Structure 1
Amino acid sequence: MFRIATNPDDLIKVFIVRGIVFLEEQNVPYAIEMDDYENSATHILGEIDGEPFAAGRIRFIEDFAKLERIAVRKDFRGKSYGHQIVDFMLDIAKSRGYKKFTLHAQAHLRSFYEQHGFHVCGELFKEANIDHFPMQREE
């Protein structure tokens, strides 16, 4: 169901999911959604029977892993796939020896990430005109 995107077809599917969720649903500008970290990040794809439904990426930065661009398509929400992809991403980072994790959570998803052991570590800020909280977790 979830895997690391390892080939061009996987990456296309990742970007399709992100385009649907961030560009279309949330009106995030393309120039903000796609950035200079795309080539160096580890991309995650969620797929059922060939249908891409979730995506995320991890950036490994010095002593912490940053979870980013976590998205689940609307028709697949409410089925715990969001929790599953976050757990999958954390497991990948842990398997590489990381014990500190960060992310920028959209404000309405704060409690979702708190369920995964994250806590707010800074002030509310705007990113792509959407309220976010910086959050972190340490093992």
Structure 2
Amino acid sequence: MAVTFKQITTSDPLFTQVWQLREDVLRRPLGLSLQDEDLSNEADETIFVGVEDDRVIGCVMVKKLDDVAKVRQMAIAAEMQGGGIGRLLMTEAEDWIWENGFKKISLHARVSAATFYEKLGYEVVGDVFTEVNIPHVKMEKLRP
């Protein structure tokens, strides 16, 4: 079955799967849990998901900061990584970002994922820093 991409909110029934995917891919491998974090501001974010057979296999969240859109919490199901889902999901999010008048996209990428974002046109700005106990870099992309 094909993957479909859509925009959801935290009140969508699929958000439970988004939370679990983020927990499984982004937090549990680091010995952390989303249960220990304040997620109350997520209701104000725009969430993009990739769904296959009623299962969320990818997600990315967009937080609005004036004329900058901050991309965060990109997660792809382990067995789907490397298959192009992340690229397609980012295309969906970027299309929405540019259509909504943002001038720049900013994100904090794990150093291990920086090459993925560079292939999508993002540039590293600044030095390596630690976030959730692992090295990250700030990356940005200007409106084309």
How far 1:135 sits from its partner (Å)?
0.6
1:95 matches 2:99? yes
Q: Structure 1 stretch 57-66 or stretch 17-26: which is displaced more?
A: 17-26
Q: What CA deviation, in whole Å up to 9, does each residue of 1:13-62 have, x standing for no partner?
A: 21121111112233333234x53421111111111011111111001110
Give the partner amino acid of 2:122.
Answer: F
Q: Is the 8 A contact 2:61 2:71 kept in 1?
A: yes
SS class of match (1:136): strand
Give the partner amino acid of 2:106.
Answer: T
Q: What CA deviation, in whole Å up to 9, does each residue of 1:71-123 have, x standing for no partner?
A: 00101111111111111111111111112100000001111101111101111
Q: Is the 8 A contact 1:14 1:52 kept in 2?
A: yes
Give the partner amino acid of 1:5.
Answer: I
Aligned-partner Cα distance in 2 for 1:108–1:12: 27
Which structure 1 residue ranges, 5 or more long, are not aligned?
A: none
Scaled by the length of structure 2, the TM-score of the pair is 0.89
Query: What's the RMSD between the two structures over aligned residues?
Result: 1.4
Which structure 2 residue ranges, 5 or more long, are not aligned?
A: none
Number of residue-to-residue matches in the alignment: 138
Aligned-partner Cα distance in 1 for 2:98–2:32: 30
SS class of match (1:28): coil
2:138 to 110, 134, 137: 134
Q: Structure 1 stretch 67-76 or stretch 41-50: which is displaced more?
A: 41-50
SS class of match (1:8): coil
SS class of match (1:37): helix
1:80 matches 2:84? yes
1:106 matches 2:110? yes
Q: Is the 8 A contact 1:13 1:45 kept in 2?
A: no
SS class of match (2:137): strand
SS class of match (1:38): helix
Scaled by the length of structure 1, the TM-score of the pair is 0.92
Aligned-partner Cα distance in 2 for 1:132–1:81: 22
Per the alignment, residue 46 of structure 2 pairs with 42
Give the partner amino acid of 2:124.
Answer: V
